[in-house]
Amino acid sequence: MTTGYLGTIEDGALIVTLMPATPPNSPELAHALAVRAQAATTGRCECGATAELPNRAARRRATREGRALRVEFLHEHDCVATDEAIRRLTSAALS
């Protein structure tokens, strides 16, 4: 099961973010994924990181070709939305 979030980026392009459902015994993981989804749909994380978007030409080319874009975030080291934090929380929830 997944949860979907909708948003737009600065030029009005639609952003769709799908996040996995979390086990009920892991509110920390649920919070981390919600922070990450918020960052993905707004372009700004609560830690202050902002999305590093490809230029407009690359975004338009991806749209024409039906490809998704990879957006980078340089989160603060202690942010719950980092890949490392999500992996750690996921591992703890599944063990």
51-67: pLDDT as tens digits: 888 888 988 898 899 88
CA 37 to CA 81: how far, in whole Å? 9
Question: Cα 74 to the chain's mean position, in Å?
Answer: 12
Question: Mean pLDDT in the chain?
Answer: 83
Helix (H, G, I), strand (E, B) or coil at 62: helix
- How large is the average pLDDT for residues 21-45? 86
79: Cβ contacts below 8 Å, ≥ 6 apart: 35, 45, 46, 47, 49, 85
What is the pTM for the complete model shown?
A: 0.70
Q: Indicate whether 18 pLDDT > 70.
A: no
Percentage of the chain beyond pLDDT 70 is 80
CA 40 to CA 44: how far, in whole Å? 7
Q: Which two tokens stand for residue 11?
A: 């030029």
- Least confident piece of the model among 9-23, 35-49, 60-74: 9-23
Helix (H, G, I), strand (E, B) or coil at 90: helix
